[in-house]
Structure 1
Amino acid sequence: MNKKNFLGTVCVAVALSAVVSACGDGTSRSAGWEFSPNMYEPIAFNPDQPNPNFKNNQTAQLPPAATDPIGFVRFDYPNTIEGYQQAGLEVKNPLAVTEANLKQGDALYQVYCAVCHGKDGNGDGPLTKDRKVNDSRGERELEKFPPPPSYHRSSGAKSTRGTLMADLSDGQIYHTITYGYNAMGSHASQLNPEERWKVVMFVHELQKK
């Protein structure tokens, strides 16, 4: 028997053994041998299972006090007017003003902010204008959002908190992006902390107009 025929015979024998071993005898509830059970039967404890390795017998443990998850950036200013004002005084942009950071801030602003604030910061984004859609329900008006104040210093526009839009500080802009305010929702899930700071940097460019 040559090598090719031998290997073929071995493969057939293995396959036949697997089929036979997996077949029941009509009386047993066994499903036969499990293939690689560790791939779908985890050895580790599930979070909601009792665990004798801990004093409280719980698998899911609270993290140690004063610790942060990997990649988490702490922002210890509450979502209050006092937190906003304090952040405005104390929080500074940790990123250097570079061409690359400004370019990325511009790109992020156009995606997440320009729909309301406008591509140039005039407060004339597409969501502030009359819009219609024509679909299976016919032609109908879409919701229009109130236009936010312009960032431009030349406009002299004030925010609803009383500060000139052109005078908003690093911390005030960052606080607003993180928590949202009025019709603007929080963008913390869309922009990570570094991205928020790049947007803050670009907004300062718009304030100069």
Structure 2
Amino acid sequence: MKIATKYIVVAILLVGFTSCQKNSRPNYQYMPNMYEPIGYEAYQESDAFANGVEAQLPAEGSIPRGNFMPYEIEDTNEGYELAKASLTNPLDSTQVDFVRGKELYDVYCGICHGNKGNGQGKLVQREKILGVPSYDDAGRAITTGSIYHVIYYGKNTMGSYANQLNEEERWQVTAYVEKLKAELEK
């Protein structure tokens, strides 16, 4: 009896589905925007804004995300030389924190350059990376600008740390690298 009831229910459903089908009319579209998208231009006028302008001020009470200042020196050899010659640390002596600079240096730089800046980090000692220079190598005129530029863009096999360190942290690391360089030259 149970099996017969199941067959009857299935037969009624099949008849119901086939009897409701009409090929002469279109099927229903439950989400028509997915099939026929509406194109918007980036700077077109819109009724979404109160004044019909392209943009509005941030909502009252919103919190800005960081103080991003663009770094305007290009990632070229000429940009490197310009940074080397003209870029100076905007942090004065009261803002430089060598303890914090050392912590950041140990996390991001020490693995290759060594904790003393002598080019003998763990990866160099294990021969995973070769040719990491010491900060006191003869013929290398390292300046504040060149250190910051290399941290920002990277150089040779060293990658950029612009995403890992914000601007203030990059300057802290730059000041700490200068301190290491001075200690190595003694």
Please state which band the TM-score falls in when normalised by the shorter chain: 0.5 to 0.7
1:10 corresponds to? none
Residue 117 of structure 1: CA displacement? 0.2
Residue 100 of structure 1: CA displacement? 5.8
Q: TM-score with structure 1 length normalisation? A: 0.56
Aligned counterparts of 2:131 and 2:76: Cα–Cα separation in 1: 23
Residue 147 of structure 1: CA displacement? 3.5
Residue 102 of structure 1: CA displacement? 1.3
Contact 1:124/1:147 (8 A) holds in 2: no
* Count of aligned pairs: 133
Residue 97 of structure 1: CA displacement? 2.7
Contact 1:177/1:186 (8 A) holds in 2: yes
2:84 maps to which of 88, 96, 99: 88
1:125 corresponds to? 121
1:151 aligns with 2:135: yes
Equivalent position SS for 1:184: coil
Contact 2:96/2:172 (8 A) holds in 1: no
1:206 corresponds to? 180
CA deviations over 1:52-89 (Å, ceiling 9, x no partner): 23768x779xxxxxxxx861112110000000111111
Misfit runs of 4+, over 6 Å: none
Residue 51 of structure 1: CA displacement? 3.6
Q: TM-score with structure 2 length normalisation? A: 0.62
Higher CA-based Rg: 2
1:179 corresponds to? 153
1:39 corresponds to? none
1:107 corresponds to? 103
Aligned counterparts of 2:78 and 2:55: Cα–Cα separation in 1: 39
Structure 1 segments unaligned to the other structure (5+ residues): 1-47, 61-68, 132-143, 159-163
Contact 1:117/1:147 (8 A) holds in 2: no
Equivalent position SS for 1:147: coil
Aligned counterparts of 1:100 and 1:180: Cα–Cα separation in 2: 23
Equivalent position SS for 2:97: helix
Amino acid at match of 1:195: E
2:67 corresponds to? 71
Contact 1:88/1:172 (8 A) holds in 2: yes
Structure 2 segments unaligned to the other structure (5+ residues): 1-41, 57-64
RMSD: 3.1
Percent identical: 38
